[in-house]
C-alpha cells in the first residue's frame, strides 16, 4: 500500500510540473476525462494508472505547446533583429555620408542612394504586428525619417516621418535631433532651434548641444548682436564638452565657435585663435573625428591667421586629400601666392637710397614716455611690452583673402618687414604713411615649402590701440568685422 501511495504521489508531482510549465507559458490544455465504470471502486493501482494516462497526454501536449511557444519567441526575436539591422544600416549610411569624399560628388550621391534604399528595404521587411505599439511605431518613423534626411536637400517626407516619431515618443532625443536638422535645411531656423531646445528639456545631450551651438552661429550671421549670439554658441559648446570631455566632435564644435567669434568681433583677438587651436588639438585626440576633413581645414585656417604658414599649408593639404570637394587646394595656392608676393616685394624694395630717404624722417616721430623706441632687430619673439617701433609704409601687398591686411614697412634702421593688420578698413593705411606700432607682436618666418625657402620678419597688429597712423589713432568707424565663418555642413 505504501509503495502504491508513493507511485501516486510521484505521478501527481509530474502532472503538476507539466501544468506549471504550461502556466508559465500562459498556455491551457484540456485533459480528457477517463471515466470509471459504474459500481467500480478505484483502488490505488488504478488511480496511478489514471494519473499516468493523463500524464502521457499532458506531456505530449506540453511538449507541442512549448515547441510552438519557442517558435513564436524565436519569430519575435527575428523581428526585433530586423529593427536592429535597420538601425545598423541607418548608422552605416550616415557613416558613409560623413567619411566618404570622392572627387566626383555624383559618385557619393549614388552610393548614399544605394545604401538608403537598402536601409529602407530592411525597415519595410518588419511585420506590421511589430510596429503596433507607440514605442515601436516611433522607432520605425524615426529611422525612416532619418534615412530620407541623409541627403543635403530638404525633404518634406523626412520631416513628416520625424514629426510622427516625436509625437509618438517625445522622449526620443535622436528623433528631435534629426527633426531639427531637417527643418534647418528648409531654412526655418527658429523652428529648428525650438526642436533642439525641446529635446534638451528631456535631459542633457551632447549631440543636441553641439547642433544648437552650430545653429546659433548660423543665426548670428547678419544680425546686430551677432557677437552675443556667438558667445551663446560657445557656452553651449562648452556644456557639451562638460558631458564628455573625451568627445572629439564636441571639441571640434568649440573650435569652430571660437574661430567664428574671432571674426565676428573684428578679427583682432589673438586669444580667440589660440582657444580655437587648442580645441581642435583636443578634437584630434579622438580617433572617431580624424576622418573629418573640415577639422583639418578649420585648424589650418586658424594656423593661417596665427601666421603659422607651414602648419597651415600642411593642414590644407591634408583636408584636400580627405575631401577634394573642399576649397583646400585653392587655399594652399592663395597662401603660396601671398608668400611669393612678400618675397618679391622684399627684393624689389631694398634699394639703399630709397630706404634711406624714407627712413630719414622717422627720427622726428615723438613717442609717449611710457614706450621705448626700438627697431625690428631688437624685438623678441612674441609680444614686446613697453616697446614701440616706428616705420614707413612702402607698399600695400594685395592678396586674395579678406583678412588680414598686409603691408611692406621699413623701420628707422632701413630694415624691411611685413606688417599684418587685423580689424581695420583697407583705406586707412596708405603708402608713405608713418606708422607707430605699440607693443608689437614679432616673429621671424623661416621655412621651406616644396623646395622654396621663405625668410622674412613679421609684425602683427591685433588691436587698433596698438597702431598710430601719422601720429593719430584709428577711429572706431575705421574698424571692420570680417564675415568669415568656420566650415559647417548641417
Cβ neighbours, 10 Å, residue 188 = 14
pLDDT at 463 over 90: no
Please tell me the least confidently modeled range out of 37-41, 57-61, 166-170, 306-310: 37-41
Given 24, 52, 75, which residue is the final one in a domain?
75
What is the tally of structural domains in the chain?
Answer: 3
Residue 333 is assigned to a structural domain of this protein = no
Q: Name 3's Cβ contacts closer than 8 Å, sequence gap at least 6.
A: none
What whole-number distance in Å separates Cα of residue 436 and Cα of residue 389?
6
In this structure, the answer to whether residues 88 and 65 fall within a common structural domain is no
- 468 vs 365, higher pLDDT: 468
Residues 418-447 have pLDDT tens digits of 999 988 888 999 999 999 999 999 999 999
Residues 223-241 have pLDDT tens digits of 989 999 999 999 999 999 9
Residue 403 is assigned to a structural domain of this protein = yes
Residue 417 is assigned to a structural domain of this protein = yes
Cβ neighbours, 10 Å, residue 108 = 17
Q: Residue 174 has which C-alpha cell?
A: 535622436
Please tell me the least confidently modeled range out of 126-140, 195-209, 311-325, 356-370: 356-370
In this structure, the answer to whether residues 112 and 237 fall within a common structural domain is yes
In this structure, the answer to whether residues 108 and 56 fall within a common structural domain is no
Share of the chain above pLDDT 90, in %: 65
pLDDT band at 480; cut points 50, 70, 90: confident
- Strand pairing report for 372-374 and 387-397: parallel
Residue 191 is assigned to a structural domain of this protein = yes
Domain that holds residue 95: 82-280
Radius of gyration (C-alpha) of the chain in whole angstroms: 37
pLDDT band at 364; cut points 50, 70, 90: confident
Sign of the C-alpha dihedral computed for residues 252, 255, 261 and 262 taken in this order: negative
C-alpha 403 chain-centroid distance: 25
pLDDT at 489 over 70: no
Q: Can the peptide bond before residue 388 be classed as cis, meaning omega within 30 degrees of 0?
A: no
What whole-number distance in Å separates Cα of residue 329 and Cα of residue 333?
6
Instruction: Answer yes or no: pTM beyond 0.75.
Output: yes
Residue 298 is assigned to a structural domain of this protein = no
Q: Partners of 387 in the beta sheet?
A: 372
Please tell me the least confidently modeled range out of 268-272, 273-277, 310-314, 372-376: 268-272
Amino acid at each position: 500500500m505504501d509503495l502504491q501511495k508513493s507511485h501516486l504521489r510521484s505521478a501527481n508531482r509530474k502532472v503538476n510540473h507539466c501544468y506549471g510549465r504550461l502556466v508559465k507559458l500562459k498556455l491551457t490544455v484540456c485533459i480528457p476525462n477517463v471515466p470509471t465504470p459504474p459500481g467500480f471502486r478505484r483502488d490505488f493501482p488504478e488511480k496511478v494508472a489514471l494519473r499516468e494516462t493523463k500524464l502521457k497526454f499532458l506531456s505530449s501536449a506540453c511538449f507541442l505547446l512549448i515547441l510552438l511557444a519557442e517558435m513564436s519567441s524565436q519569430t519575435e526575436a527575428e523581428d526585433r533583429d530586423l529593427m536592429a539591422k535597420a538601425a545598423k544600416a541607418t548608422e552605416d549610411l550616415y557613416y558613409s555620408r560623413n567619411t566618404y569624399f570622392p572627387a566626383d560628388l555624383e559618385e557619393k550621391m549614388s552610393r548614399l542612394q544605394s545604401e538608403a534604399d537598402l536601409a529602407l528595404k530592411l525597415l519595410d521587411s518588419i511585420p506590421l504586428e511589430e510596429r503596433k505599439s507607440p514605442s515601436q511605431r516611433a522607432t520605425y518613423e524615426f529611422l525612416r525619417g532619418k534615412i530620407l534626411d541623409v541627403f543635403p536637400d530638404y525633404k518634406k517626407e523626412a520631416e513628416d516621418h520625424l514629426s510622427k516619431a516625436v509625437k509618438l515618443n517625445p522622449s526620443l532625443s535622436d528623433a528631435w535631433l534629426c527633426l531639427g536638422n531637417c527643418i534647418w535645411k528648409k531654412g526655418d531656423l527658429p523652428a529648428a532651434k525650438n526642436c533642439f531646445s525641446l529635446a534638451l528639456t528631456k535631459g542633457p545631450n551632447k549631440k543636441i548641444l553641439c547642433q544648437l551651438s552650430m545653429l546659433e552661429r548660423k543665426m548670428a550671421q547678419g544680425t546686430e548682436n551677432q557677437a552675443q549670439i556667438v558667445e551663446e554658441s560657445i557656452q553651449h559648446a562648452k556644456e557639451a564638452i562638460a558631458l564628455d570631455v573625451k568627445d572629439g566632435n564636441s571639441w571640434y564644435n568649440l573650435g569652430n565657435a571660437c574661430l567664428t567669434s574671432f571674426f565676428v568681433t573684428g578679427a583682432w583677438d589673438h586669444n580667440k585663435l589660440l582657444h580655437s587651436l587648442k580645441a581642435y588639438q583636443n578634437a584630434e585626440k579622438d580617433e572617431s573625428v580624424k576622418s573629418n576633413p573640415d577639422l583639418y581645414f578649420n585648424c589650418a585656417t586658424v594656423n593661417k591667421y596665427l601666421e603659422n604658414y607651414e602648419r597651415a599649408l600642411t593642414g590644407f593639404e591634408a583636408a584636400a586629400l580627405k575631401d577634394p570637394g573642399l576649397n583646400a587646394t585653392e587655399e594652399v595656392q592663395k597662401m603660396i601666392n601671398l608668400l611669393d608676393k612678400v618675397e618679391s616685394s622684399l627684393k624689389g624694395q631694398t634699394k639703399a637710397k630709397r630706404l634711406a630717404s624714407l627712413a630719414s624722417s622717422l627720427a622726428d616721430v615723438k613717442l609717449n614716455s611710457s614706450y621705448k623706441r626700438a627697431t625690428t632687430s631688437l624685438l623678441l619673439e612674441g609680444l614686446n611690452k613697453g616697446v614701440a617701433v616706428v616705420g614707413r609704409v612702402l607698399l600695400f601687398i594685395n592678396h586674395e583673402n579678406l583678412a588680414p591686411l598686409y603691408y611692406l614697412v621699413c623701420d628707422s634702421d632701413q630694415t624691411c618687414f611685413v606688417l599684418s593688420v587685423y580689424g581695420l578698413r583697407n583705406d586707412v593705411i596708405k603708402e608713405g604713411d608713418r606708422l607707430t606700432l605699440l607693443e608689437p607682436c614679432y616673429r621671424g618666418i623661416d621655412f621651406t615649402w616644396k623646395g622654396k625657402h621663405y625668410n622674412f620678419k613679421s609684425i602683427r597688429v591685433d588691436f587698433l590701440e596698438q597702431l598710430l597712423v601719422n601720429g593719430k589713432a584709428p577711429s572706431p568707424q575705421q574698424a571692420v568685422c570680417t564675415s568669415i565663418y568656420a566650415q559647417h555642413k548641417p
